[in-house]
A and B are shown apart, each in its own frame.
Chain A
Amino acid sequence: MNAAQLLNGVALGSLLMVLSSGLAMIYGLRGVANFAHGALYMAGAYIAYSVSDRAGFWLALLVVPLALAVLGVVLELAFFRPLQHRSHIELGLITFGLALMAERLVVLIWGESTLRVNPPEFLQGTTSFVGIEYPSYRLAIIVIAVLLAAALIVWLRSTSIGLHIRAASQDIETAAIMGINVDRVSLVVVAVGAALAGLAGALAAPYIALDPGMGNAFLITVLIVVVVGGIGSIAGAMIAGMGLGIIQTVTTVWSPSLAVVVPYAALTIVLLWRPTGLAGKRVS
C-alpha cells in the first residue's frame, strides 16, 4: 500500500461523505430511506455531462445542484409531504419505484452507452503531493468535498434553520409543537439533500464512467453508510462514508475478493453490535 492508494480511498470516501450526508438528513427528518438517492446522484452526473459539453464543467457544478434542488422540491411536494402518515417502509418502496423509473428514463434521454466527462484543463494532469504524482482532479474532489462537508456542518450548527433541522430530526412531533414549521424544514432538507446528491454526481462524473446502472450500484453502499453511521446522524454518516471509502480501497489492494464483501460485513457487524448505528441514540 502506498500514499496514492490511500488518497484513492480518501477520494472515494469524499464522494460517499457528500452523498450520504444528504441521505442521512432526509432519513433523519422523514424517517425514510430514500432509495431514489442513487437516481439523484446519477441524474446529477448526466446533467453535468450535458452542461459541461455545452458550457464547461464549472458551470455544471453550479447548474446541477440547482436543478437537483428543484427535483428535490418536486419529490417532497409530490410524495414525502402528502404521504407522511403512511408507514416508512411504504414510502421507501415508493422511492424504490422512482429509482427503477429513473434508470430507464436516463437511457431514454442519454442512451445506453457509457459516457465520459472531461475535467477542466488545468486539472487534467497530475500534481506533486506528499512526494508522489497524483491526478489533480482527484485532489480537487477531496478538497471540494471536505469544504462542502465543513460548510454543511457550519450551516447546521450556526443558523436558525440548521437549529430547526436538528430539532426536527431529534423528534419531529415535539419540534412541531414548539412552533417549528416542520413542512418548511422538510422542504429545505429534501432540496438540500437532493442538491448534495447531484453535486456528488457532478463531481464524480469526470472520475468515473457514466452508465445507467451507476446510481443503483452506488445506492446500496450509501444506504449502508447511513445505517452504519447511525440513523439520521449527519456526522455519523460523514465519518462512516470516509471510513468505508478508505477501508474498501485499501482492502481492494490487499485482497480484491475480500473487498467486495467489506460494506456488507461492516453493516452486519455494526448492526449486530449497535443496532442504531455508530452514532445513533434513538431506537426508532
Chain B
Amino acid sequence: MTTTAPTDDVTETMVAVPPAGPGRWKGTLVGLGIALAVLLAGLAVPYVVTDTYRMSLVVDATILSLLAIGIGFLARHLGIISLGHGAFFGAAAYGVGIATTNWGWSPTTAVGFGILVGTGIALVMGLLVVRASGFGFLMLTLALSQALYALSVQTSARPLTGAHDGKLLSYDRDQTFLGLGQADVMNPGLFWPMAWVALTVCATLLWVVGRSRFGTTLEGIRENEERMRFSGYGTFGPRLVAFVLSGAVASVGGALFAINAGYVSPDILGFSKAGDSLIAALIGGFGLLVGPIVGTFLFVYAQANFNFGGNLHLFTGMTLILVLVFMPGGITGTFQKLYHRMRKGRR
C-alpha cells in the first residue's frame, strides 16, 4: 500500500495535527485563563441580544453545539465518524422526561439522571463498536442508534416515551431546575447561563483531554493503531474512554435540551438529528475544537432564515458537498490554512 492510497481515515485532509511538546503546561494554563474569560464574557449575551426569538436561537445553537463537539472530538482525535450520537442526546432527553413526568423527580436530579442514562448507553454502545473503524464504525453507530429509535416509537413503549407523539415534560410548580421554574427554563434569557456554562466547561474539558498524554495516545491510535499496539499500548481502553466521554458531552446537551424545550419528540433520536449535527460539524471543520460550534451556529441560523419553501435540505446538501469538495477542513480549517500561510510568508 502506498501512502497516497485512499483510506477510511478522515484525518489526512480534514484534521491538522496540533503541536505538542515542551511548554504544554504553560499553554494549558493560558488556555484555561482564556476559557474562563470567554465564559464570563459570554454571560453578558442576553444583555446584547434582547430579542427573545433571536436569543432562543442562540440557546438552541449552544445546546446543539454540545452534540456537535462530541462528534467532533471523536473525529479529531480518533479519526472516526459517528452517526450514533443522536442516541445519547436523545436518550438523555428521554431520561429527563421520564424522571420528571413519570417518577416526579425534581428537574435538577432528573438532568443528572438523564446525563447518566445517555452516558450509560454510550458505554454499552462503545463496548460493541469501538473495535470497528471507518465504514464499519459508521454503520454500527448508525444501526444501534436506529434500533434505539425504532424501539422508542413502539406502541409498547408509549407509557415511557409517548411513542410517535413525543413526550411533554411536566413537573410540580414548586420544583425547579437550579432555581428556575417550568416557565423560566423556557425563557431563553434566563436559561442562557446554564447552556453557556455547560458548553464552555465541556469544550474546555475536551480541549484539556485532547492536549493531555491521553490525547496524544488517541492521536497515535488515529495515525496507526497497529503500531500503537506493537509499542505496548492497549488501544481498546483509550478508544472506549474517548467514545464514552464524547457520548457524555452529547448527553449533557440532550438533558439541557429536554429541560429547555419542555418536550421530547422521537426524531431527536433519529438519523436526521445526528446527520444534521454531523453536517454542521463538518461544515465548521473538525481541525479545531470550535469548528463544530461555528458550524452548529451557522446551521441553526440558516435553518431559521433560509428555510423558505421547505428547501432547507436542498441547501444543506449543496453546502455539504461544496465544503467537502472545495474546502476539506471546513470553515475553520480553511481559516487555519490561511493563517499558517500568512505566518510562513512573513518569516
Q: Which residues of A contact B (CB under 8 A)?
A: 31, 33, 83-90, 92-94, 96-105, 107-108, 173, 216, 220, 223-224, 227, 231, 257, 260-261, 263-265, 267-268, 271-272, 275, 284
| Complex contacts, B14 vs chain A, CB 8 Å | 87, 90
| Complex contacts, B179 vs chain A, CB 8 Å | none
Q: Which one of B66-74, B209-217, B309-317 is at the A interface?
A: B309-317
Q: Would B321 and A98 count as touching, CB distance under 8 A?
A: yes
| Complex contacts, B311 vs chain A, CB 8 Å | 104, 108
Q: Would B318 and A101 count as touching, CB distance under 8 A?
A: yes
Nearest to A220 among chain B residues (CB) is B146
Nearest to A226 among chain B residues (CB) is B139
A105-B314 contact in complex given A227-B136, A271-B132, C-beta closer than 8 Å = yes
Q: Would B328 and A86 count as touching, CB distance under 8 A?
A: yes
Nearest to B311 among chain A residues (CB) is A104
Q: Would B135 and A97 count as touching, CB distance under 8 A?
A: no
A88-B314 contact in complex given A97-B320, A268-B140, C-beta closer than 8 Å = no
Q: Would A100 and B313 count as touching, CB distance under 8 A?
A: yes
B231 contacts partner chain A, Cβ-Cβ < 8 Å:
no
In whole angstroms, how far apart are the Cα atoms of A104 and B325 in the complex? 21
Q: Would B81 and A97 count as touching, CB distance under 8 A?
A: no
| Complex contacts, A271 vs chain B, CB 8 Å | 132, 136, 139-140
Within 8 A of A (CB), among B51-88: 81
Please give the number of chain B residues whose Cβ is less than 8 angstroms from any Cβ of chain A in the complex. Answer: 49
Within 8 A of A (CB), among B119-177: 128, 131-132, 134-136, 138-140, 142-144, 146-147, 150-151, 154-156
Name the residue among B135, B150, B271 with the largest chain A CB count within 10 angstroms: B135
B225 contacts partner chain A, Cβ-Cβ < 8 Å:
no
| Complex contacts, B6 vs chain A, CB 8 Å | 31, 84-88
In whole angstroms, how far apart are the Cα atoms of A85 and B4 in the complex? 7
In whole angstroms, how far apart are the Cα atoms of A231 and B275 in the complex? 23
Question: How close is B284's CB to chain A, nearest CB, in angstroms?
Answer: 14
In whole angstroms, how far apart are the Cα atoms of A101 and B313 in the complex? 6
| Complex contacts, B310 vs chain A, CB 8 Å | 104, 107
Question: How close is B222's CB to chain A, nearest CB, in angstroms?
Answer: 13
In whole angstroms, how far apart are the Cα atoms of A261 and B298 in the complex? 35
B13 contacts partner chain A, Cβ-Cβ < 8 Å:
yes
Quick one: which of B13, B154, B313 contacts A104, CB cutoff 8 A?
B313
| Complex contacts, A88 vs chain B, CB 8 Å | 6-8, 134-135
The binding surface of chain B is classed by DSSP as: helix
A267-B139 contact in complex given A93-B282, A260-B150, A261-B151, C-beta closer than 8 Å = yes
| Complex contacts, B278 vs chain A, CB 8 Å | 93
Question: How close is B40's CB to chain A, nearest CB, in angstroms?
Answer: 37
A263-B5 contact in complex given A87-B10, A104-B311, C-beta closer than 8 Å = no
In whole angstroms, how far apart are the Cα atoms of A31 and B138 in the complex? 14
Q: Would B135 and A89 count as touching, CB distance under 8 A?
A: yes
Q: Would B144 and A89 count as touching, CB distance under 8 A?
A: no
B267 contacts partner chain A, Cβ-Cβ < 8 Å:
no
| Complex contacts, B328 vs chain A, CB 8 Å | 86, 90
Question: How close is A44's CB to chain B, nearest CB, in angstroms?
Answer: 19
Q: Would B150 and A261 count as touching, CB distance under 8 A?
A: yes
B324 contacts partner chain A, Cβ-Cβ < 8 Å:
yes
Q: Would A284 and B8 count as touching, CB distance under 8 A?
A: yes
| Complex contacts, B223 vs chain A, CB 8 Å | none
Question: How close is A235's CB to chain B, nearest CB, in angstroms?
Answer: 20
Q: Would A275 and B313 count as touching, CB distance under 8 A?
A: no
Q: Would A224 and B314 count as touching, CB distance under 8 A?
A: no
| Complex contacts, B321 vs chain A, CB 8 Å | 94, 97-98, 101
| Complex contacts, B140 vs chain A, CB 8 Å | 267-268, 271
| Complex contacts, B144 vs chain A, CB 8 Å | 264, 268
CB<8 Å pairs between A and B, sample of 22 = A33-B135, A33-B139, A85-B6, A87-B8, A87-B13, A89-B9, A89-B134, A90-B324, A93-B324, A97-B319, A99-B317, A100-B317, A103-B313, A104-B310, A220-B142, A227-B135, A257-B156, A260-B151, A261-B151, A263-B143, A264-B146, A267-B143
Question: How close is A218's CB to chain B, nearest CB, in angstroms?
Answer: 13
A97-B156 contact in complex given A88-B134, A104-B311, C-beta closer than 8 Å = no
Question: How close is B309's CB to chain A, nearest CB, in angstroms?
Answer: 9
Within 8 A of A (CB), among B325-343: 325, 328
In whole angstroms, how far apart are the Cα atoms of A128 and B162 in the complex? 44
Within 8 A of A (CB), among B259-274: 271
In whole angstroms, how far apart are the Cα atoms of A264 and B2 in the complex? 35
| Complex contacts, A104 vs chain B, CB 8 Å | 310-311, 313-314, 317
In whole angstroms, how far apart are the Cα atoms of A94 and B156 in the complex? 38
In whole angstroms, how far apart are the Cα atoms of A90 and B326 in the complex? 12
Q: Would A87 and B282 count as touching, CB distance under 8 A?
A: no
A260-B320 contact in complex given A89-B134, A100-B313, A268-B144, C-beta closer than 8 Å = no
Q: Would A268 and B9 count as touching, CB distance under 8 A?
A: no
Q: A87-B9, A90-B13 are in contact. List 18 more A-B contacts (CB 8 A).
A: A31-B6, A88-B6, A89-B8, A89-B138, A90-B324, A93-B278, A94-B325, A97-B320, A101-B313, A105-B314, A108-B311, A108-B314, A220-B142, A227-B136, A231-B135, A257-B156, A260-B150, A267-B139
Question: How close is B228's CB to chain A, nearest CB, in angstroms?
Answer: 17
Q: Would B317 and A101 count as touching, CB distance under 8 A?
A: yes
Question: How close is B287's CB to chain A, nearest CB, in angstroms?
Answer: 14
In whole angstroms, how far apart are the Cα atoms of A267 and B83 in the complex? 15
Q: Would B147 and A261 count as touching, CB distance under 8 A?
A: yes
| Complex contacts, B316 vs chain A, CB 8 Å | 97, 100
Quick one: which of B13, B150, B318 contacts A97, CB cutoff 8 A?
B318
| Complex contacts, A102 vs chain B, CB 8 Å | 317
